[in-house]
Amino acid sequence: MFSAFFYLLRARGLDVSLNEWLTLMEALDKGLAGSSLTNFYYLARAILVKSEADFDKFDSAFLEYFKDVQNFEELPKELIDWLNNPKENPNNYNAAQDRKNLGLSMEEIQKMLLERLKEQDSEHNGGKYWVGTGGMSVFGNNGNASNGIRVGGVSQKHRAMQVASERHFRDFRDDNVLGTRQFQMAFRKLRQFSTRIDAPKTELDIDSSIDETCENAGSLKLVYQKPRKNSVKVLLLMDSGGSMDYYMNLCSMLFNAVAKSSHFKDLKVYYFHNCIYSMLYTDPTLYPGKWVETQWVLKNISADYKVIIVGDASMDPSELYGHSYYNYGARTDTPGIEYLKMFKQKYKHLVWLNPIVEMGWRSSYWTETYNAIKSEFDMYPLTVEALDMAIKKLMVAK
């Protein structure tokens, strides 16, 4: 039953498993949807969709599949009310065939028929068998039916198609750009457990306890050990100022998320402008003096740090390749690209996050450096999905 709907959902990117589908079938067998499309909508959504981020995909697939089944809920009184926008009858075509097309729920149609017989005494504007307006019926309202049953203009509350078509959950789609909380969630995945970390000894070490107790002539002596803790260390390098100002909010959210992620063993943050040169700044204002030498960082921050570079990678080509360049009070003789390569060489776990989600609108002037850097690093846009991928990438050596 409905298996085409199952494949449609999958085709629209919803990861519905066979198990869940069978659960839905079981639910239908138990009559949980009754014979109402609204119930079916909620039932299917509750069973098949497991994140509000996917509700929108579900809504649009649902609309697509059931588009021919406009509003067929029980609406006894509305049937009378609905005739509020009667219409002229345009040139009607081939009604019989259309009616045949109606594939869904004969029960419903019969029920409607009964109602029609009971209630309809008047007003059937367009024609071809009642419950009118517009015409050519398989029941009413605006008409010229390419398949059936929409009776009544708008809304009784919560009708499935209407709920779906309102698409309340559009904002939740996860290809949207992120909020702090989502950032944090992503960063929580950045962890590796180890017992070799300073922490209070709170776990009972059974083996040692037994040994110690034996040594102690059988009188009990308990030994505790350190629990497993996250050993991930993070080095965050952020582009600041200039073209990055457009992304200030986004970047400060990212920064907050990283800073609040208390589960890292260590976190170091430095700033740069456009590209990394001889100096790294300790403060996003990039004042000369508030800095450390890039070489110092490369020497002192060990290779097991996981490095996240945040920047739009968009600059004048000379800023990336130029040999002599003056940047926020620091002179540099080595081209920026060389510094970037040094980082790449030293740190096995390195990703580049780019707040530019789409390059499309930028001029080619900017894309040159963007492409050059993208070809050197694993670059990810700052969206939920991409950040997840970036974090996964950080967890495995390249």
Partner 1 sequence: MNTDNTFKGSSDYVASDELMRAANIAIALEKPLLIKGEPGTGKTMLAQAVSKALNKRLIIWNIKSTTKAQDGLYVYDVVQRLYDSQFGGEGVDDIKKYVKLGKLGEAFSSDEQVILLIDEIDKADIEFPNDLLWELDKMEFYIPETKETIKAKKRPIVIITSNAEKELPDAFLRRCIFHYIQFPDKELMEEIVKVHFNNIDQKLLDQVMETFYWIRDLDINKKPSTSEVIDWIQALEIGGIPAEKIKDEIPFAGVLLKKNEDLEVVERSRRRFKY
Write out the residues near partner 1 by the rule CB under 8 A. 15, 17, 19-20, 23, 26-27, 30, 32, 39, 42-43, 45-47, 49-52, 55, 158, 168-169, 181, 184-185, 188-189, 204, 206, 219-220, 222
Q: Which is nearer to partner 1, 165 or 184 (CB)?
A: 184
Shortest distance (Å) from residue 164 CB to partner 1: 13
* 198-205: long-range contacts, CB 8 A cutoff, minimum separation 24: 198/226, 199/226, 199/227, 199/229, 200/226, 201/225, 201/226, 202/226, 202/227, 203/227
Shortest distance (Å) from residue 64 CB to partner 1: 21
**How far, CA to CA in Å, does 242 sit from each of 30, 217, 227, 283, 284?**
62, 72, 45, 15, 12
**How far, CA to CA in Å, does 372 sit from each of 164, 240, 340, 344?**
44, 20, 11, 14
Shortest distance (Å) from residue 383 CB to partner 1: 15
Q: Which is nearer to partner 1, 23 or 85 (CB)?
A: 23
Residue with tokens 């073209």: 243
Q: Which is nearer to partner 1, 47 or 379 (CB)?
A: 47
Q: Which is nearer to partner 1, 203 or 316 (CB)?
A: 203
Shortest distance (Å) from residue 26 CB to partner 1: 7
Q: Which is nearer to partner 1, 39 or 176 (CB)?
A: 39
Distance CA 254, CA 55 (A): 26
Shortest distance (Å) from residue 2 CB to partner 1: 17
Shortest distance (Å) from residue 224 CB to partner 1: 10
Shortest distance (Å) from residue 178 CB to partner 1: 13
Distance CA 240, CA 273 (A): 5
Q: Which is nearer to partner 1, 68 or 388 (CB)?
A: 388
Q: What is the DSSP string of 139-206?
A: S-SS---SS----SSS--TT-HHHHHHH-GGGGG-TTSBP-HHHHHHHHHT---EES-S-----EE-H
Shortest distance (Å) from residue 276 CB to partner 1: 32
Q: Which is nearer to partner 1, 68 or 385 (CB)?
A: 385
Q: Are 254 and 240 spatial neighbours (Cβ–Cβ below 8 Å)?
A: no
Run of H or E residues at 55? helix 52-65
Distance CA 194, CA 330 (A): 40
Q: Which is nearer to partner 1, 46 or 303 (CB)?
A: 46
**How far, CA to CA in Å, does 80 sit from each of 87, 152, 176?**
16, 8, 44
